[in-house]
Amino acid sequence: ELQDSSRLQLGVSPKYVQLRTFQYTETVSGFEDDEFDSDEYQTDKSGFNLDVGAAYAFGSRNQWNAGIAVKNLIPMELDSAASQPDEEERTLELDPMVTAGIAHKGEFHVLTAEVDLTKKKAFGYEDDTQWVALGAEFDAFRYAQLRFGVRQNLASNDDNDGIEEDTQFTAGIGLSPFGARLDIGGLISDADLGAAIEFGAAF
């Protein structure tokens, strides 16, 4: 990460990406257990890629931050392997994704807003996605943090094979007594239900 004496920060994250698809279609009567995981139904491709970003702090106490990030700067794509002669191949596309955001940080809160400036095309049973999101974290005496978020998919449509994904709600709590750290979070929407827990300790 590079940082100058001004309020601008620049970041570059090189990474190694591996794409892999598996496509197998068969009737129940024609299913063969020995063929199910055969290499002929799989394709893969690997390569290096980059994430880049920039952030700028402003305000009398640098309480505002605006930023932009580009993930997967180098486009990549991979065709699946059809298991039947008349089956259509699918193409997994890893295109650059651009996200812009702004945040306000106070003594006891952080408020954020971000939007995807590009759309992620669906693959398989996913939905097209292009999120706009709002989030908030409220601090209680540095020992507990309450978090809430909501995001709306601007690209959801009925023209693909995916499960429609419109609005997601998230909530969480972070506890940090005596150098330990416990984070619990949850997500709910019409299509998804998820939870996460993380524990850590500082020495």
Q: Are residues 20 and 90 in the same domain?
A: yes
Looking at the structure, do residues 142 and 173 belong to the same domain, yes or no? Answer: yes
Q: How far apart are CA 79 and CA 89, in angstroms?
A: 7
Q: Could you tell me if 134 and 198 lie in one domain? A: yes
pLDDT tens digits for 71-127?
999 999 999 887 666 677 788 899 999 999 999 999 999 999 999 999 998 887 788
If asked whether residues 25 and 78 sit together in one domain, one would say yes
82 with 160, same domain?
no
- Give the model's confidence band at 2: pLDDT under 50 very low, under 70 low, under 90 confident, else very high: very low
Q: Which amino acid is at 55?
A: A
Q: Which residues pair with 110 in a beta bridge?
A: 105, 137
**What domain range is 197 assigned to?**
114-203
Please give the residue that has the higher pLDDT: either 51 or 31. 51
Residues 123 and 73 occupy one common structural domain: no
Q: Confidence band (pLDDT; 50, 70, 90) for 1?
A: very low
52 vs 191: CA distance, rounded Å: 31
Same domain? For 59 and 98 the reply is: yes
Q: Please state the rounded mean pLDDT for residues 46-72.
A: 96
Total count of domains within the chain: 2
Same domain for 139 and 83?
Answer: no
